Structure 1
Amino acid sequence: LEDYLGVRLFDREKNRLQPTREGLQLGPEIRAISDRLRALKTAAMELESGRSREIMLRLAFPSSLSSTRIPKLVKNFLAANGPMRVEVASGSYLAIERMVADGEADLGFARLPLMSPGLKQEKILSSRVICALHNDHPKAGSRQLSVGDLKGQDLIMLNRERPVRHELEALFYKSGIRQRPLLEAHSVASACALAAQGLGIALVGEIIAREYATLPLQFIPLEPELPVAYALISGEKFPIPKAASLFLQSISDWV
């Protein structure tokens, strides 16, 4: 510091240092700079570790999860990693893909196969289609329900924009069943809520439907099994932030 300033700050007497007049005069400013450097180093370490209030972790999940599972996951994540700013956005799977691809979200939850370019699969979640029906439904005691068992039943299905809807219709067609659903829903949450009112049998993905186990519903496997795959995705053009990596680690049990 003396070399940098061009001023002698201490008089040296054997192993002792005594501040000079210049050292005494500049001491408060030097200490203020030193304190700022320590604060800067702490901030840099927080940024490097992904545990900084200055960085926002941006998540995008469908509404069926953002109002059920995600608050619990975020709570556990913050408890394990310290206070951090988190933003949770909701939307359709296509909207979530676009948010992640455009860098508006660090992590998103989408159904496979992906429809948008520029995305990377971080974690894959395997699931299947199940039947959600009211506890008092005549079929509620079944161990499984075949496509044939659904013939003539009031069905609740996701809207036609969903790939799973087309897969279900192809399954019905292969079994010789021509049947339109009584009700169409735009989310698993809505489909389960309708089924919980005794309005029919909802055909939904199990991993999301299980979030609504507190409703008066029975969840029964569909036969033949119709797989459904989801993925936690990030953008190919944007390196995944450390906060997002920490979040992925913290939800490994759920995945």
Structure 2
Amino acid sequence: MNLKQLEAFVAISTLHTTTAAAQRLGCSQSAVSRLLSQLEEDLGLSLFVREQGRLTPTREGDALVQEVETIVEAARCLERHAQQLRLAGTQRKLVRIMVPNTFAQFLLPAVMQHFYETHRDAVLEVFSGTYDASERALLSREVDLAFVRLPTRLSGFSVKWRFNSESVCVIPRSHPLARNATVSPRDLDGVPLVLLWRQSALRHEVDAAFRSARVTPNVVAEVHSVSVACAMAARGVGAAIVNRLIAQCCNTKQFVMRPFVPTISFETGIASLESYPISGTCDAFAACLAEALEDLHAQRATG
């Protein structure tokens, strides 16, 4: 059993075809099939069955998916860490963090500038991803710090800084709903909507609010970033429903935010791995980021 076999297993379990897995891994379909056969032989287990042209994990395969993903992520983390050490030298202090894409684009540049004023010997590696990806990255020690939604789905984290926020509807300043104090699903009946992707936790809660109000959402775009949702809303593509704290990182002069009701509450935090204490440099960066987030929270801009 080797890492390439495990990577093939993860790719197939995610994409469900050897063709797609081969494209992701940059090899031939026959090579992926061979790696899977070798892994099944080494483990003595049948890992997938073919159903309607798709490869679906067997009961044994499904039971192994999470553990194999953790191993693959840990190996990639080791490779990146070694590369960073080669580039920066052992005297540099590495800080690895995963945050939402919107934070990476609009909040971290200023945070990094402020942090580097007192930590010239630090090297920062920034990852962007979902809350679920952040939890997995922490557990595999791919990152030292991550911005997570609380309570976390997985366990084993230490959260020193916490932040509370709520859902808002983002619309152009000229939109008729900009006159409202709040915006509900009934207000949005027939209104074009830009929503986060269907697998996101917020999307599930937004969909539930619309079902409860017996309103069918008029979704014109699904996006994977709050900044993209806000940019589309500012252009009049559709109203967006997002986390206020993250939306406040964007250029709020281009749109207004109105509380979305029923309120969807968010508790988020900067987390680290409970069993692996972070360095003083990581702790200092987390404090710097927390200060920036607290400033955002204090603004609570409503346009």
Residues 195, 229 of structure 2: 8 Å contact kept: yes
More helix by share: 2
In structure 2, distance between residues paired with 1:112 and 1:186:
20
For 1:36, the equivalent position in structure 2 comes to: none
Deviations 1:218-238 (A, max 9, x none): 111112322122221111231
Counterpart mapping for 1:111-126 below 5 A = 111-126=149-164
SS at match of 1:73: helix
- Indicate whether 1:188 and 2:226 are aligned: yes
Matched, 1:74 2:126: no
Residues 1:226 and 1:92: Cα distance change in structure 2 (over 3 Å): closer
In structure 1, runs of 5+ residues without a counterpart are 1-51
> Is 1:146 paired with 2:158?
no
Does 1 or 2 have the higher relative contact order (CA < 8 Å, sep 6+)? 1
Structure 1 residue 141: Cα displacement: 2.6
Among candidates 162, 166, 175, match of residue 128 of structure 1 = 166
**In 2, distance between residues paired with 1:153 and 1:233?**
37
Whether 1:203 aligns to 2:241 is: yes
Query: Structure 1 residue 222 and structure 2 residue 260: aligned?
Result: yes
SS in 2 for 1:234: strand
Rounded to whole Å, the distance in 2 between the matches of 1:216 and 1:224 is 25
Q: Please state how far the C-alpha of 1:192 moved relative to its aligned partner.
A: 0.9
Distance 1:249 1:62 in 2: 17
Higher gyration radius (CA): 1
Following TM superposition, by how much is the alpha carbon of 1:56 offset from its aligned partner in structure 2, in angstroms? 0.6
Deviation at 1:215, TM superposition (A): 5.3
Partner in structure 2 of residue 170 of structure 1: 208
Unaligned 5+ runs, structure 2? 1-89, 295-303
Counterpart Cα distance in 2 of 1:103 and 1:167: 30
1:89 is the counterpart of 2:140: no
Summarize deviations over 1:129-184 as a string: whole Å, max 9, x none. 10111122222232221232111211111111111111112112222223342221
CA distance in 2 between counterparts of 1:53 and 1:146 reads 54
Percent identity (aligned): 29
The amino acid across from 1:97 in the alignment is E
Conserved in 2, the CA contact under 8 Å of 1:157 and 1:165? yes
Report if the CA contact (8 A) 1:53-1:84 is conserved.
Answer: no
Contact 2:92 2:121 in 1 (8 A): no
**What is the root-mean-square deviation of aligned Cα atoms in Å?**
1.9
Q: Report if aligned partners of 1:196, 1:216 keep a CA contact under 8 Å in 2.
A: yes
Higher mean C-alpha deviation, range 225-234 or range 117-126:
117-126
Tell me the residue number matched to 2:45. none
Structure 1 residues 98-156: Cα deviation after superposition (integer angstroms, max 9, x where no partner):
11111111111122332233322222211111011112222223222123211121111
Structure 1 runs, 4 residues or longer, greater than 4 Å off: none
Query: Which structure features the higher share of strand residues?
Result: 1
Q: Which moved more, 1:137-146 or 1:199-208?
A: 137-146
- The aligned amino acid for 1:182 is V
Q: TM-score, normalised by structure 1?
A: 0.74
What secondary structure, in the 3-state scheme, does the structure 2 residue paired with 1:223 have?
Answer: coil
